[in-house]
Structure 1
Amino acid sequence: MADLLDQMAAGLNDGSVNDSARAWLDRARALGNEIRRVDEALQQAEESTRLNPRSMRLPYSTVTLRQSLEALEHSAVTVRVLARSLVDTTRLAGDDNSVNDPDVRRGLADTLRELSAAVRTYSSLATELDAHGHEVLKADLERHLAAARDAQDRLSELLATAPAVRPVGWPLRGELISHLDRLRSELEAGTPDQRPRPRRNRSWRPPRPSLQRVPPALRKLMK
C-alpha cells in the first residue's frame, strides 16, 4: 500500500498522472486480494496462539494484529476510491482536470508521500514488541499524519473553487480531499494499542519475543 502511494506521488510529480492513473487503480484493486490472503494467515496464527501456552506471556495481544489488519483493510478501500477519483479527473479536459495544474499535482504528491510514510510507520508500530520502540514509532506516526494534514490543508486551498465557476470538475476536487482526509483519519483511529496480556504463570520465562512471530504474509502487505 505504501509503495502504491509512493508511486502515485512520483507520477504526480513527473506529470505522468494522466497516463498512469488507470494502472494505479488496478493495483489498488489488487490490494483486496492481499488483504484476504493476510486475513487467512492471521487466522491460522491466532488459532496457533490459542493452542500455545507461551502466548500468554507475549507483551502484546494478537488483537493488535487483528485490529491493525482491519485498519489497513479500511485504508485499502480508501486508496482504491482515491485512485478511482484520479482516473475520473484525468478524463476531464482543460482546466476542469485539476491535475493539469502543476501546483495541485505537487500538493497532492506531498500529501501522498506523508501518508505513505505513515502507512510504513503504522506497520512497524503494529508489530513492535518493545514498549520504548512502540512509543518512538507512535510519535513518528503522529508526525507524519500531522504533516499529511498540513499538506492536505494547502491542497484544499488550491482546489477550492465555486461550483458555478467549475461545474464539471468541482465534485471531483472535493472527492480528492475527502478521500485523503479519510485515509489519514483511518490511520489515526486505528493506531495499535499496547495493552498487556494477563500473566498467569509468573515462574515461567519464555524466550525473548521475536518479530518472526508476525505472519510473513502480514509483513509483506505492510511493505
Structure 2
Amino acid sequence: MSTAPEIAALLPDPAQLRAHLRALAVLDSTIGDDQQFCTYSFDAAWGPGEEAALMENGSGDDFSVLFTPAGVLIRGFDHESEMSPYGTDDEQVWPGVIDEVPAALRPVLDEPAFRDEGIDVPRVTVCIWRETGDTAWRTGSAIGFPDGSEDPDGSGYLFHLLTDRSPETVRAHFEDYYERPVPLDAVRHVLAGHPLNPAIVGALNPGVL
C-alpha cells in the first residue's frame, strides 16, 4: 500500500525538493507547445517570502508544495480517492489527514486556491509537511486508511515524480504525456539545475522558434 507516511520517507530535503520541482516546471514548459496544457508550474512570488510548486493534470487531480519561512507544506488531492471530502457524508477532510498540521503552516490550507466553491474545507486527500529546522517530513499519525486500495490517498499517483526523481522516470513521464520522444541527456541537463541554452531547448522541443 502506498500512503502519505511511505511517500514522506522517500522525499528529499526541502532544498532538493524545491530544485527538482523547479526543474519539472522548466521541462514541462519547454517540452510543451501550449502552456495551458502544462501540468507542472512554479511560482517564485506566490506570497511574501513564499514560493509554490503546483501540479494540475486537468482531470481533477492536483497538488501544491508551498515553501514558506515557517516550513514546507505538501497538499495533494486525488478526486477518485475515497478519502476526498466529496466522498464523505459530511463533506469534511478525512480524519487525521490535516489534524496535526502545525499552527505555523495551517494558514496554507486556508488559501482560497486550495478550496472549491460550495465546500468549506481544503481540497485535500494527502498532506505532508516539514517545519523549518525539522529533520524529517511529517504526516498525520492517526489516519485510518480505507481498505481495498493500493493507493488510498492518491499519494503514490500524485507524487511519483517526487519519490522517483531519476532522469529515466522523468523522461518516461513526459514522453507518455506529450506522446513524442524526449532526449535523456536534455532531461539530465535540466534536472541537474543547469540553465537552458538553445541546444537544450531545441532538443526538448524541436518545433520551438
TM-score, reference length from structure 2? 0.26
**The structure with more strand, counted as a fraction of residues:** 2
**The structure with more helix, counted as a fraction of residues:** 1
